[in-house]
Amino acid sequence: MQQKTLKSPSAGKRRVRNICVYCGSNVGINPAYAAAARTLGAAMAKERIGLVYGGGGLGLMGELARSVLAQGGRVTGVIPTFLSRKERMLRDADELIVVDDMHQRKKLMFDKSDAFVALPGGIGTLEELVEQLTWAQLGRHTKPIVLLNIEGFWEPFLALLRHMSEEVFIRPDMQVRFSTVKRAEDVVPTILAAAAQPRREPAAAAAVSDKF
């Protein structure tokens, strides 16, 4: 007699232990950006989800990390040596990892994280976000990606993605997979909902509907 293996209700689902957040080392001119960073930090701490971020103490990075810490959450900072002074690495972090270069930083942040969030930021934030979108598009990972579009900050980027799609530089079978939310309060629920879905094999992640 062949014995059947019963699957747990949670089989295939992903546990969200840490969220990697990309954001600016400046606060920007709109106070809503810093407020959103603080709100997100508090929400992550409340759900006992750790923060993985670039390790700096300035700008939205500092606002976010200090908010997590203030609410009793856990913070892991990853920063290259050459930025440790420029971005005033946050020594209050529970874990502060100093690496040699940006490649090591990004790889370690990826390995330690179960999902990714992009807040407003500059070229560095954009580059980190696009890298994760590219890896997901190519089927290298299926971790949730969320764009926090505070007061329309990311609208030009979303318009560019639509333009690329219309010009068929993003093929229908290679759509970019991510979620967009307008409120910081919606980030964690969106990630938890995505993680609750049955896990897909990474190679199947590229052929999904677009979210922009």
Which tokens go with 193?
């909902």
User: How sure is the predictor about 86, in pLDDT bands with cuts at 50, 70 and 90?
Assistant: confident
Q: Which pTM was predicted?
A: 0.87
pLDDT of 136-174, one tens digit each? 999 899 999 999 999 999 999 999 999 999 999 998 888
Asked if the model's pLDDT at residue 195 lies above 80, the reply is yes
Q: What SS3 class is residue 147?
A: strand
Q: What SS3 class is residue 212?
A: coil
Taking every pair of Cα atoms in the chain, the longest distance, rounded to a whole number of angstroms, is 69
Q: What SS3 class is residue 62?
A: helix
Closest CA to 97 of 107, 108, 86, 88: 108
Q: What SS3 class is residue 122?
A: coil
Asked if the model's pLDDT at residue 62 lies above 80, the reply is yes
Q: Provide the pairing of β-strand 95-99 with 18-22.
A: unpaired
| Confidence (pLDDT) at 200 | 64
One-letter amino acid identity for 204?
A
In sequence order, which ranges of 92-206 are alpha helices (DSSP H)?
102-112, 123-137, 155-166, 187-195
Asked if the model's pLDDT at residue 202 lies above 70, the reply is no
Asked if the model's pLDDT at residue 192 lies above 90, the reply is yes
pLDDT of 18-38, one tens digit each? 999 999 999 999 999 999 999
Please name the CATH architecture into which domain 18-195 falls: 3-Layer(aba) Sandwich (3.40)
- Give whole-number Cα distances, 93 to 81, 82, 96, 116, in Å: 16, 18, 6, 19
